[in-house]
């Protein structure tokens, strides 16, 4: 069923943050920071992949994401939903089902044999494609997926994610300069607010995480000096 009526964006953001906290997808550790894909430290880490194992939460969030896509991009804006390998694939399938659209997925790189394709499934040059992923940090990793879609002749002017870091000021410019609209459900600021409301972590931990979120590059530089 195609969802059409849901709470305002702010309430969906709060509820999304609450669900992520409830299933333990939110991790804060200021004493032993996590290492990001960039190799840099962070006191916060989000694991959206856990969502696939919780049916009620998974279903609710996919309804939220589907209606947010329609509200922000349009009800007839897309012809194909593409998931990014690998985390975006299950979410793309669930969104495609709700929007009654074909689903494809995009490999990170050609598989090296057979047709050596990056796009799996049926995609043609007349289609307007939405890229679905679990999250975005600085937006850079999305560009390769978008370019692979565009190489087919199809258009890709938007990406939808469950979680957007919203702490790196260059993210939306990086995507915008590439002609890509960012659609998301919640950010670190929503999670921090809900974590404070719930008392989910110690005051000291929340204060240090907030310090990181306000100036992530400076925080990382402090931790990597020497």
Query: What does the pLDDT read at residue 52?
Result: 98
Domain, as residue range, for 207: 9-224
The stretch 120-132 carries a mean pLDDT of 97
- What does DSSP say about strands 80-84 and 34-35: parallel, antiparallel, or unpaired? unpaired
83 by DSSP, 3-state: which? strand
CB atoms within 10 A of CB 81: 28
For residue 41, give both structure tokens. 């430290």
pLDDT tens for residues 161-191?
999 999 998 999 999 999 999 999 999 999 9
Query: What does the pLDDT read at residue 138?
Result: 86
Rounded CA-CA distance 74/54 in Å is: 29
pLDDT tens for residues 4-47?
778 999 999 999 999 999 999 999 999 999 988 778 899 999 99
Residue 104 resides in a domain: yes
pLDDT tens for residues 51-100?
999 999 999 999 999 999 999 999 999 999 999 999 999 999 999 999 99
* Ramachandran class of 81: left when φ > 0, alpha when ψ lies in -120 to 50, beta otherwise: beta
Contacts of 73 (CB under 8 A, 6+ apart): 130, 158, 181, 183
Residue 3 resides in a domain: no
pLDDT greater than 90 at residue 3: no
Q: What is the pTM of this model?
A: 0.94
CATH number where 43 lies: 3.40.50.2020
Query: What does the pLDDT read at residue 27?
Result: 96
CA distances from 209 to 37, 145, 168, 182, 204 (A): 19, 31, 15, 24, 9
Residue 1 resides in a domain: no
- Overall domain count for the chain: 1
Rounded CA-CA distance 167/46 in Å is: 14
Residue 4 resides in a domain: no
């Amino acid at each position: 069923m195609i969802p059409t009526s849901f709470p305002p964006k702010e309430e969906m953001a709060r509820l999304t943050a609450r669900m992520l906290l409830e299933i333990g997808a939110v991790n804060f550790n200021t004493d032993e920071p996590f290492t990001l894909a960039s190799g840099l430290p962070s006191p916060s880490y989000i694991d959206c992949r856990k969502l696939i194992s919780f049916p009620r939460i998974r279903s609710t969030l996919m309804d939220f994401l589907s209606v947010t896509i329609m509200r922000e991009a349009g009800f007839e804006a897309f012809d194909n939903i593409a998931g990014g390998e690998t985390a975006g694939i299950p979410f793309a399938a669930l969104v495609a089902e709700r929007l009654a659209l074909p689903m494809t997925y995009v490999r990170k790189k050609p598989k090296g044999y057979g047709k050596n394709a990056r796009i799996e499934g049926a995609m043609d040059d007349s289609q307007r494609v939405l890229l679905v992923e679990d999250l975005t940090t600085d937006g850079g990793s999305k560009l390769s997926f978008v370019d692979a879609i565009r190489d087919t002749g199809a258009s890709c002017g938007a990406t939808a994610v469950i979680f957007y870091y919203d702490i790196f000021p260059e993210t939306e410019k990086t995507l915008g300069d590439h002609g890509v609209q960012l659609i998301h459900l919640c950010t670190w600021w929503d999670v921090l607010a809900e974590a404070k409301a719930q008392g989910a972590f110690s005051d000291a931990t929340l204060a240090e995480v907030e310090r990181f979120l306000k100036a992530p590059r400076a925080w990382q530089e402090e931790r990597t000096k020497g």
